[in-house]
Amino acid sequence: MKYAILSDIHANIEALTVVLDKCAELKVEKYICLGDVVGYNASPAECMDRVNALDVVGFVKGNHDEYASNNDDEMLGFNQHARAAVLWTKAQLSQEKLDFLSKLPYKLIVRGAGITIVHATLDSPESWGYIFDVHQARDNFNYQFTPLCFCGHSHVPIAFTKKAFAGGVIPVEEIQEWKGNPGHGKDTDPVIKVEKGWKYLVNIGSVGQPRNRDPRASFAVYDVEASTITRYRLPYDISSAQKKIMAAGLPERLAERLERGS
């Protein structure tokens, strides 16, 4: 079984299309979505339709999904550009799509897969906290009761492991290789070998608005038989995505940051 894990698509249909083409090439069977299908970019309805047409076995809510589908137009904590994009997004989506987003859970265990999914953090998912270091990961592991947990939200790929109990210590370590090379070259796709008895917390990065200075669309595939998690980075037509943002009257900064991956 191969699961594709997608996060932070953010209404970027150009990036999503390239990712789904790669998934077909890899013969992915099931899909998991970690939230924020909408926001920032200019194709929210198209992205929702593409994701909902897949065999999705787990789908959780992101903060942009929440604000787009509730009545909070103040959006404390959002900058002016993110807020403008959410307000624009609300006007583009049917009531049916808004209802779908509003009913998504904050966290979920994928049955039979040993996977927990959440957009932000397991301890308080609705508070939209971030996981950037070992200390935050250790807190998250206290609420993780499956071998694997996938998260998004930060748009920055980072991974941690909690090794099996040994000598009275259960170490939590960052998996440095997961970050990969944030350049534009054809570098090797980062791979995590899943060890029995260990726990893993994996942020897969963003499909539609990467922020690790690598503008390529980022997603992951969990291969159950091979016991591997592989992160793929794919170039896509950034120019077309930028033109759609500008044509929609969205903030120019949202278009500019796509080519910087920041």
Q: Each residue of 205-222: pLDDT tens digit? A: 999 999 999 999 999 999
Radius of gyration of the chain (CA): 17
pLDDT exceeds 80 at position 234: yes
Q: What is the DSSP string of 209-234?
A: ---SS--SEEEEEEETTTTEEEEEEE
How many angstroms separate the CA atoms of 190 and 224, rounded?
A: 17
pTM for this one?
0.94
Domains of the chain: 2-260 (3.60.21.10)
pLDDT score of 204: 97
Instruction: Return the closest-CA partner of residue 3 out of 26, 23, 30.
Output: 30
Q: In what order do the strands lie in the sheet with 2-6?
A: 56-59, 30-33, 2-6, 217-223, 228-234, 191-193
Residue appearing with tokens 């932070």: 8
Distance, CA of 247 to chain centre: 26
Average pLDDT, the chain: 94
Q: What are phi and psi of 145, to 5 degrees?
A: -115, 15
Percent of the chain whose predicted confidence (pLDDT) is above 70 = 96
